[in-house]
Amino acid sequence: MKQLIQEYSGKIRVVVKFAPYPYRDFAKVAARASLAAREQGRFAEMHELLLQNYRTLNPKTLAGLVATLGLDAARFQADLDSERLVQRVEQDVGLTRSLNIYQTPTFVIGPTDQPGRVLVGERPIEHLRKAIDGEFAGLGGKP
């Protein structure tokens, strides 16, 4: 994603919506952890670390990630436990279910005011580029 964001700088937008796997114990906590880190300006870094460490996530490893990023641990915990973030994740779950999205990652590529092309699962960067370029071509080459 980082490479695509750089290549299409100012032309694409990445929006993350959470669809935590219901049978993975720490999935909803991990989603809230990304949002709690966002409160301190570190969403992308935390999100990436959580994805890299998803198999070993537990309260101890999460505390280690908070320390790695140099976050204010007390503020992070307060945000993590807040009803506001619980509701935000639940809203995302509702949205993804209403769009019939049940797997992550799922990419929706297209203009924000129209239904987009849905790509389910991890894809090689060339596949994503082709989908993005195809959408631009359909718009007359304009983002």
**In the chain, what percentage of residues exceed pLDDT 70?**
96
DSSP 27-91: HHHHHHHHHHHHTTT-HHHHHHHHHHTGGG-SHHHHHHHHHHTT--HHHHHHHHT-HHHHHHHHH
End-to-end CA distance of the chain: 18
User: CA-CA distance, 42 to 46, in Å (whole number)?
Assistant: 6
**In the chain, what percentage of residues exceed pLDDT 90?**
55
Cβ count near 71 (within 10 Å)? 22
Q: What is the mean pLDDT of the chain?
A: 89
pLDDT of residue 135: 86
Q: Taking residues 2-17, what's their average pLDDT? A: 88
Q: Taking residues 41-65, what's their average pLDDT? A: 94
User: CA-CA distance, 32 to 80, in Å (whole number)?
Assistant: 6
Residue 126 predicted with pLDDT over 80 = yes
Q: Which pLDDT band, with edges at 50, 70 and 90, does 63 fall under?
A: very high
pLDDT of residue 34: 97
What Å distances lie between residue 6 and 17, 20, 34, CA to CA?
Answer: 21, 27, 22
